[in-house]
Amino acid sequence: MSERTPIVAGNWKMNTTQAEGRAWVEAFVKELPEGQPGVEIAVCPPFTGLATVAEALGDYPAVVMSQTIHDEPKGAHTGEVSAAMVRATGARGTILGHSERRAAGETDEMVANRVRAALDAGLFVILCCGESLEQREAGETEAWVSKQVRAGLRAISHEWTDRLALAYEPIWAIGTGKTATPEMAQETCAQVRAAAAGFIDASRVRVLYGGSVNAENAADLMAQPDIDGGLVGGASLDPAGFATIVRAAAP
C-alpha cells in the first residue's frame, strides 16, 4: 500500500446556496462524526459558500477549497476572486485548471500563473488535467495530460510537492456516468505522476481520479496503486454518498 495519504475532495460546482451548504455539513458530520482517519477530506463550494461552509465545519477534520482563483492579487478583473480573498474566507486550497474552466477559456499559461499565485498565498492546489473522447480515441491521452501537467507545474519546484495534488479527470467521464475503468484510470494516473517528475517529487505527490466517481465504484478506483483519492462532482452533493466514498479511500 502506498504511503501517500489519500485526499477525497467534493467539487460542488455551481450548486448549493449558503443554507444548503450548512445543511450539507450538518448531515455529513452525522455520517462521519470523527472524520476519516488516514484520509484528507475537502469540500469545494462556490465562492459564495466558502466562508459559510468553513465556519460550519469549525474544528471538524475537513478543509474547504475554492473551485478556481485569479492569478492577480487585486485589480480591475470583474467577477474574479484572488487567492488572498479565498484564504481570508477560511478556505485552505483551490482546484485549478478544471476542464469546465478550461472550456470557458482558461489556458495552460493562466493555469500555471494561478498555481503559482495560489501556492504563494498559502493555498493548497488540486491541479486538474484530462483528455477529450476524441483525444483518447486518437491515442493522444498520455501526450495531452503530460503536456497539461508540465505546463501547470512550470513555475513549481520540489519544495511544493506536499502543497499540491494532481487530478486526472477524463472529460468524457465527467457528469456522464461513464467512469474510466479502474485499469484505465490507473494507467493514466501513473502517466500523470510520471509527467510531474522533474518539477516536484513525483513519488510523493497525490494523484486523484475524477469523473463519475460514486459510492459504488469508489473502492475499486481507490485500490489502484497510483490513485490517491478522488475529485468527486455530482456524487459529492449527497452527504451520505460522499461519506461512503471517503470511507472507500481509507487505507
Query: Which range in 68-76, 85-93, 141-149, 226-234 contacts ligand 13P by CB under 6 A?
Result: 226-234
> Of residues 11, 66, 89, 148, which one binds ligand 13P by CB under 6 A?
11
Decide the pairing of beta strands 63-66 and 229-232: unpaired
Q: Which is nearer to ligand 13P, 52 or 214 (CB)?
A: 214
- Grid cell listed for 232: 468527486
Query: Which range in 18-26, 73-81, 82-90, 209-217 contacts ligand 13P by CB under 6 A?
Result: 209-217
Shortest reach from residue 237's CB to ligand 13P, in Å: 9
Shortest reach from residue 238's CB to ligand 13P, in Å: 11
Is 234 one of the binding residues for ligand 13P (CB under 6 A)? Answer: yes
Is 102 one of the binding residues for ligand 13P (CB under 6 A)? Answer: no
Contact 236/243 with Cβ under 8 angstroms? no
Q: Which is nearer to ligand 13P, 75 or 177 (CB)?
A: 177
Distance from C-alpha of 158 to C-alpha of 147, rounded to nearest angstrom: 18
Shortest reach from residue 30's CB to ligand 13P, in Å: 23
What is the pattern of x (binds ligand 13P, CB under 6 A) and - over residues 156-175?
-------------x----xx
For residue 177, count CB atoms less than 10 angstroms from its CB and return exposed for 0-12, middle for 13-18, buried for 19 or more.
Answer: exposed
Distance from C-alpha of 36 to C-alpha of 221, rounded to nearest angstrom: 18
Contact 54/91 with Cβ under 8 angstroms? yes
Is 211 one of the binding residues for ligand 13P (CB under 6 A)? Answer: yes
DSSP string, 158-178: GGGGGGEEEEE--GGGTTTS-
Distance from C-alpha of 239 to C-alpha of 222, rounded to nearest angstrom: 19
Distance linking the first and last C-alpha atoms of the chain = 8
Contact set for ligand 13P, span 38-97 (CB under 6 A): none
Catalytic positions are 98, 169
> Of residues 94, 135, 188, 212, which one binds ligand 13P by CB under 6 A?
212
Q: Which 3 state secondary structure label does DSSP give 33?
A: coil
Residues at the contact surface with ligand 13P, assessed by CB under 6 A: 11, 98, 169, 174-175, 210-213, 231-235
